[in-house]
Amino acid sequence: MIIHKMTLNNFRQFRGKHEIEFVSLDDPTKNTAVVYGENGRGKTGLFRAMMFALYGERRLSQDANVPDNEIQLVNTSALQESEGKPVRTSVEVTFSHKGKVYNLYRAIEGMRHGDEVIEEIADVRLNITHVDGNTEIIDRRSIDSKIADVLDPRVKEYFLFDGEKIEQLTRAGKEQRRAISEGMRNLLRVDALDVAVKASERAAKSFLDDLTQETGTAGVELARLIKSLGDNEAESNRIRTRLEELADERDRAYRELEDIDKRLMEFKEIEHLLSERRQAESDVRRLEHDADQVMNQMQTYVCKAAALMVRDTVEEVFASLDEQKEKGEIPSEIRRDLIERIISEHKCICGNEVCEGTSEYESICRWLEKTSDAAREDVALDLWRFLAETRSHFEDDADIIKQRIIEHSNIIHRIDRLRDKVLSISKQIGESEREDSWKLEKIRKKHLEAITSIKAEIQNLESQAKELDSIHSRLTQQLDEEKRRKNRNSVLEERSLLAREIQEALAEAYNTYTSEVRDVIGKSATDVFGRLLDEEGKATLKTIVVKENYSLEVLDQYGQPFLANVSAGQRQIMSISFITALAMAACDGGRIEMPLFMDSPFGRLSGQHRKNIIREIPLLTSQWIILATDTEFRRDEAQALRMTGHWGKFFMLCASGDGNTTIKEYSVDDAYSILPREEEQV
């Protein structure tokens, strides 16, 4: 998709008719257009116009907290002059996609009614000019699906996005994870597989119901096992979903706690107390983690400690075996089988005959009594070795176990002391004379209680999930045994088993595919990330990972999670890298055949990050439209963009004096001289 032209008529700040031609007709390789304007001039208005034209949407994601009646698309001056008559506002977009040219027109009419402005969709038209030159007029009811074929509305925010908001993708909330998961599913067209998995689940359930109702005792066990497995999986999924919800709730509570702490920090008289409490709470968390680690180690010492209970027995048996070894009884000097052969053959190894009744014969018989059989000797020697090994650790084991118990006890003492300290500080803060301070403190306490209860529920659910997993593997084993044991003679049994196998196979295929896709997108995002990051970032931030729950993580040079420490600018770079990787995956890993329409993409970025983005994005996408403010697009950025050879268009949004905006186009060369230098802004 390439956006050629957008025509606005009485839309937001744009009074009358305005045209923007994004594509450079004389050089199509110049795929980058910049729309430049100060804050309030209408950059986001243009972004809104594009969303309105393509999808009829009046709201952007950033309007979440704005009431409907405050979002107005019709130009205010035009409304004032209309003296109660309706004003028509329209956006017309011309774009090409796969050889066809689309001309899309959408209009609304607005009218002032007292203090309120009423807006209604007035018209929508779409013409498609095909490769052969014929133009098709699309029926109004089919327009949305035709546009969705070009750019699915569910993924539009990956191509048309607000740079200030995009970094939120890296916040691991439920909404962000859902957005990432849906984005991946939709862009990669795995919806069909998803439908197949769900259909197979329904089929398996239906066959199972039939089997349960119609079979006699023969299929009862099979039906029971399949049903138990299904119930187990459903319960596991329920627990996993709840665990994700709880993790979100916990994170939200922590964020709110942080906000409260920030607000409390504004009260200077209690600043020192807050700082002390923050330190103590952080120490408690660290120590709780340490205590948990030590507690986890405890179970590995259980057998070593128990062996100490039978230490005397071990020592006694070892002493006995050791004595026999010392005496040469194990292993015996001469093997029992050799002596037995001499006696039965009446012939010594030297060739002399050994006759019964002789003194030689009697001596050999006495040797035989002293020896054991070879197997028993092996057992004795093995046991001697193992007991030697076991007893050699007794002293060390006892010392280590004692140390661990004392270590744990010390940590618990320190945690108790710190908790007392936190309580005492909280009491002092709560007793502060400032009413707003103690109110915040009360809310804070509630959040802390909520976090404790969430943590307990998480722990409980995690252990339930673990238990369900172990029941699942046992049931699976039983089902396999049941399958082997019976010759299936019932069609229903066969169908039920087959449906279950299909369900399992599809679920596995789905999981494998999505896991591979996550991996591919993670690698691709890491590659783009490396190209966009500045040198300092590159030294620390190494890998972007799309986790199993579809949240994003960044790993440092040691492979450790680092997301909590990255700056807002780095988060923005990370989000852009992820979106770019997603779009590349949707285009089979090649160049992105969609425009990237970015509103204020540079706001939070350092100079080096801006330059890297400017250098790389035109190479990755078919079209890049930047809506930038005077503070984020200066001569430095313009120079960098000019160097790429991809910059084709420059528009400036200018105030026209009556609260409206006009759009002026300049050549790229002229643009450079118009733009402010960095020092001029300072």
Partner 1 sequence: MRDGDIRVKTDIKYRALYNDMKKERAITDFHDLFFVCTCIGFSANERNCIERGDDRFWSNTISPTEWSCYYAMMMKLNDLELSSICDDRQVIATMQEYSNAGIELLIQDFLGDYLLPGTRDSEPQLDPSLAETLPVDFLYYILEQSEANNWVTLHGRYS
Rule CB under 8 A: is residue 376 a binding residue for partner 1?
yes
CB of 269 to partner 1, least distance (A): 38
Q: Where are the alpha helices (DSSP H) in 265-373?
A: 271-309, 311-326, 336-345, 359-370
> Contact between 303 and partner 1 (CB under 8 A)?
yes
Q: Which residues of 471-483 are buried (b: 16+ CB within 10 A; e: fewer)?
A: ebeebeeebeeee
Question: What amino acid is encoded at 52 in this protein?
Answer: F
Closest Cα partner for 169 from 177, 161, 159? 177
Cβ-contact 233, 226 below 8 angstroms: no
CA 273/CA 281 separation, integer angstroms: 12
Structure-token pair, residue 202:
């329904």
Contacting residue, 66, 218, 234, 379, with partner 1 by CB under 8 A: 379
Find the shortest distance in angstroms from Cβ 392 to partner 1: 11
CA distance 431 to 147: 61
Residue appearing with tokens 């839309």: 11
Q: Which lies closer to partner 1 via its Cβ, residue 382 or residue 516?
A: 382
Any contact of residue 401 with partner 1 (CB under 8 A)?
yes
* Phi, psi dihedrals of residue 489, rounded to the nearest 5°: -115, 0
- Report the distance separating Cα 161 and Cα 305, nearest Å: 61
Question: Of 76-84, 200-208, 375-383, 438-446, which segment contacts partner 1 by CB under 8 A?
Answer: 375-383
460 binds partner 1 (CB under 8 A): yes
Query: Can you say whether residue 430 is alpha, beta or left, with left for phi > 0 and alpha for psi between -120 and 50 degrees?
Result: alpha
Residue with smaller CB distance to partner 1, 304 or 488: 304
CB of residue 320 vs partner 1: minimum separation in angstroms?
Answer: 5
Per CB under 8 A, the segment of 109-117, 140-148, 295-303, 349-357 that binds partner 1 is 295-303
- Segment near partner 1 (CB under 8 A), from 101-109, 385-393, 513-521, 649-657? 385-393
Which residue lies nearer to partner 1 by CB, 160 or 287? 287
Which residue of 130, 466, 474, 664 would you call a contact of partner 1, by CB under 8 A? 466
- Comparison of 396 and 467: residue with beta carbon closer to partner 1: 467
Using CB under 8 A as the binding rule, whether residue 299 contacts partner 1 is answered as yes
Give the nearer residue to partner 1 in terms of CB position, either 300 or 359.
Answer: 300
Applying CB under 8 A, does 392 fall inside the site for partner 1? Answer: no
Part of the chain binding partner 1 (CB under 8 A), chosen from 45-53, 152-160, 167-175, 396-404: 396-404
Residue closer to partner 1, measured from CB, 272 or 376: 376
Q: Which residue has the tokens 């004595």?
A: 323
Over its C-alpha atoms, the chain yields an Rg (Å, rounded) of: 38
Closer CB to partner 1, 36 or 384, in the complex = 384
Question: Does residue 412 touch partner 1 according to CB under 8 A?
Answer: yes
Among the listed ranges 111-119, 401-409, 482-490, 648-656, the one in contact with partner 1 (CB under 8 A) is: 401-409
Which of 100, 242, 263, 304 binds partner 1 (CB under 8 A)? It is 304
| Residue 574 CB contacts under 8 Å (≥ 6 apart), including other chains | 167, 170, 525, 529, 541, 544, 552, 554, 566
Report how many residues bind partner 1 under the rule CB under 8 A. Answer: 47
**Amino acid in position 122:** A
Determine contact, residues 422/281, Cβ cutoff 8 Å: yes
Overall size of the chain counted in residues? 682
Q: Please report whether residue 317 would count as binding partner 1 according to CB under 8 A.
A: yes
Cis link prior to 331 (omega < 30° from 0)?
A: yes
Q: At 175, which amino acid appears? A: E
From candidates 199, 218, 234, 298, binder to partner 1 by CB under 8 A: 298
| Beta strands in 143-219, from DSSP E residues, in sequence order | 160-162
Residues forming beta bridges with residue 546, ordered by sequence position = 552
- 3-class SS of residue 660: coil
Interface with partner 1, residue 413, by CB under 8 A? yes
Q: Does 474 engage in binding with partner 1 (CB under 8 A)?
A: no
Q: Is 320 in the site for partner 1 (CB under 8 A)?
A: yes
DSSP state letters, 87-125: EEEEEEEEEEETTEEEEEEEEEEEEEETTEEEEEEEEEE
Closest separation in Å from C-beta 309 to partner 1: 4
Binding residue for partner 1, selected from 308, 368, 502, 507, defined by CB under 8 A: 308
389 near partner 1, rule: CB under 8 A: yes
DSSP category for residue 561: B
Edge to edge, what strands does the sheet with 14-21 contain?
A: 14-21, 2-11, 87-97, 100-113, 116-129, 135-137
Q: Which is nearer to partner 1, 316 or 494 (CB)?
A: 316
> What is the footprint of partner 1 within residues 354-373 (CB under 8 A)?
372
Q: Which is nearer to partner 1, 460 or 667 (CB)?
A: 460
Q: What are phi and psi of 588, to 5 degrees?
A: 55, 35
Q: Is 398 in the site for partner 1 (CB under 8 A)?
A: yes
Q: Does 375 bind partner 1 (CB under 8 A)?
A: yes
In this chain, which stretch among 108-116, 381-389, 583-591, 630-638 interacts with partner 1, using CB under 8 A? 381-389
Task: Say which residues have a Cβ less than 8 Å from residue 548's Cβ, sequence separation at least 6.
Answer: 515, 518
* 333 sits near partner 1 (criterion: CB under 8 A): no
d(Cα 360, Cα 363) in Å, to the nearest integer?
A: 5
Name the one range near partner 1 by CB under 8 A: 45-53, 180-188, 300-308, 501-509: 300-308
Quote the crossing angle between the two packed helices 191-214 and 220-264, to the nearest 10°: 140
Whose Cβ is closer to partner 1: residue 137's or residue 375's? 375
Q: How many CA atoms lie within 13 A of 611 on its CB side?
A: 10
- Binding stretches for partner 1 (CB under 8 A): 294-296, 298-311, 313-314, 316-318, 320, 372, 375-376, 379-380, 383, 386-387, 389-390, 398, 401-402, 404-406, 408-409, 412-413, 460, 463, 466-467
